[in-house]
């Protein structure tokens, strides 16, 4: 197939899902069941479970063997950074495109994703919602328009989230750096710690079942601008990731952005 995706294709994209019994894995299987442009041909999980949303779940051991047997077009991974690196390597070995939603990668983990993208198409996004894509654009404009304003980034998530700050918060911080130049990031404040000029405060809250909230606050002595996104359900992330899988299938090897899916 050409490097421009599956224009004109009518067969559903064959999808594999890792972390099938996780919060996002369950949501992906649920959302996929209601769509006719994707077909889940493989679901795996580290901890044994029989099935999720009516789909049989295999052990995550020997992922390469499972990929060879079921021949998915795209694997969708929302797990943890350690497993994600292994799963992506298996996809590179087996020639399977991969959508990565996992967050919390360190530098080595990001380098491993880049290495895999030399062999297969790979799309990594820290957030698969359209609202966050719009928030990122709005933040870029606001930061450019208000160059001297103080900025604080606050994210709130459920009490089961591992990484902090969230992947989305880190992406927003990178966007702010792109608009204003690199700034010192101050993670929480404690004791005698007045704000210094140009720093960006970063705050991570964990409570109950909050799906995901991100706020970028800009303020000077006279005005305050608060840009906030709240995810109402994980369904928005699952739908975005499956849209990305459909878009990615059949593309050339390389690293792709979710913005390209939204622009298509
Ligand atoms: N990009 C986006 O839009 C979004 C990204 N995320 C990210 O997705 C990831 C998963 O989130 P969520 O579903 O809430 O997490 P959960 O903890 O609910 O699920 C994680 C899943 O990954 C598996 N897993 C975790 N660590 C390992 C490991 N070391 N080896 C093998 N399997 C592993 C778990 O297996 P087991 O059952 O055995 O524990 C489980 O199936 C996180 O990084 C999160 O930040 C989440 C939502 C949206
Ligand atoms: O772990 C989550 O739940 C989420 N993680 C992503 C992140 O780290 O930004 C995206 C979303 O906010 C939900």
Q: Ligand 2: does its nearest atom lie under 6 Å from the Cβ of 166?
A: yes
Q: Given this model, what pLDDT does residue 10 score?
A: 80
- Name the percent of the chain lying above pLDDT 70: 97
ipTM above 0.95, yes or no: yes
Q: Given this model, what pLDDT does residue 147 score?
A: 94
- CA dist 229 and 150 (Å) reads 19
Q: 3-state SS of the chain: helix, strand, coil percent to 5? A: 35, 25, 40
Q: Are 87 and 77 spatial neighbours (Cβ–Cβ below 8 Å)?
A: yes
Q: Which residues contact 49 (CB under 8 A, 6 or more apart)?
A: 20, 21, 57
- Closest atom of ligand 1 to CA, residue 158: 14
Instruction: Give all strands (DSSP E) within the chain, no chain letters.
Output: 13-18, 38-45, 51-52, 55-56, 58-59, 74-77, 97-100, 121-124, 150-157, 185-187, 200-206, 213-219, 224-230, 254-256
Ligand 2 centre and the CA of 33: distance in Å? 23
Q: Given this model, what pLDDT does residue 1 score?
A: 40
**Predicted structure pTM score:** 0.96
Residue 128 CB: number of other CB atoms within 10 A? Answer: 27
What's the pLDDT band for 2 if we cut at 50, 70, 90? very low
- Closest atom of ligand 1 to CA, residue 132: 3
Q: Ligand 2: does its nearest atom lie under 6 Å from the Cβ of 129?
A: no
Return the ligand number nearest the Cα of 158: 2
- CA dist 187 and 42 (Å) reads 40
Return the ligand number nearest the Cα of 123: 1
Residue 218: pLDDT over 70:
yes
Residue 175 CB: number of other CB atoms within 10 A? Answer: 17
Q: Ligand 2: does its nearest atom lie under 6 Å from the Cβ of 126?
A: yes
Q: pLDDT by residue (tens digit) across 235-258?
A: 999 999 999 999 999 999 999 999
Q: Which residues contact 221 (CB under 8 A, 6 or more apart)?
A: none
Q: Which residues are catalytic?
A: 157, 161
- Tell me which of 80, 127, 155, 158 to substitute to probe ligand 2's pocket, judged by most ligand atoms within 8 Å of the beta carbon: 127
- CA dist 197 and 191 (Å) reads 18
Closest to 154 (Cα-Cα) out of 140, 166, 142: 166
- Positive or negative torsion for Cα 55, 60, 66, 71: positive
């Amino acid at each position: 197939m050409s490097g421009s995706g599956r224009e004109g294709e009518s067969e559903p994209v064959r999808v594999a899902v890792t972390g099938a019994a996780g919060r996002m894995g369950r949501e992906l299987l649920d959302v996929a069941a209601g769509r006719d442009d994707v077909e889940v041909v493989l679901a795996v999980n580290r901890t044994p479970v029989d099935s999720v949303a009516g789909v049989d779940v295999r052990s995550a051991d020997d992922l390469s063997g499972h990929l060879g047997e079921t021949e998915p077009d795209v694997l969708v991974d929302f797990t943890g950074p350690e497993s994600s690196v292994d799963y992506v390597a298996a996809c590179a070995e087996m020639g399977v495109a991969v959508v990565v939603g996992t967050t919390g990668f360190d530098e080595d983990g990001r380098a491993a994703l880049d290495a895999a993208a030399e062999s297969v198409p790979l799309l990594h996004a820290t957030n698969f919602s359209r609202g966050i894509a719009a928030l990122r654009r709005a933040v870029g404009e606001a930061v450019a328009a208000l160059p001297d304003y103080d900025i604080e980034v606050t994210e709130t998530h459920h009490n089961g989230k591992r990484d902090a700050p969230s992947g989305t918060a880190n992406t927003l911080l990178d966007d702010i750096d792109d608009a204003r130049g690199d700034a010192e990031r101050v993670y929480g404040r404690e004791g005698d710690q007045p704000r210094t000029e140009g720093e960006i405060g970063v705050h991570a809250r964990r409570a109950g079942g909050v799906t995901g909230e991100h706020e970028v606050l800009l303020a000077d002595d006279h005005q305050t601008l608060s840009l906030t996104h709240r995810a109402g359900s994980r369904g928005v992330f699952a739908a975005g990731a499956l849209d990305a899988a459909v878009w990615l299938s059949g593309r050339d090897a390389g690293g792709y952005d979710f913005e390209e899916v939204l622009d298509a």
